[in-house]
Amino acid sequence: MGLFSLLFGGRLNIVCQKCGKKYSVGKNAVVITMDDWRNYARRTIGASDADDRKQEDLVSGIETSKPEVRKSILAEAREKAKHIRKALSRGQKRTWRCHACKNINAYHI
- In the complex, the residues that contact Zn ion under the rule CB under 5 A are 16, 18-19, 21, 98, 100-101, 103
Select 24 or 103, whichever has its Cβ closest to Zn ion.
Answer: 103
Least distance in angstroms from the C-beta of 104 to Zn ion: 10
Non-local CB neighbours of 30 within 8 Å, separated by 6+ positions: 59, 60, 62, 65, 73, 74, 76, 77, 80
Task: Write the single-letter amino acid at 105.
Answer: N
Q: Which is nearer to Zn ion, 10 or 96 (CB)?
A: 96
Least CB distance to Zn ion at residue 82 (A): 23
Q: Which is nearer to Zn ion, 74 or 98 (CB)?
A: 98
Residue 55 gets the label, from left (phi > 0), alpha (psi -120 to 50) or beta, of beta
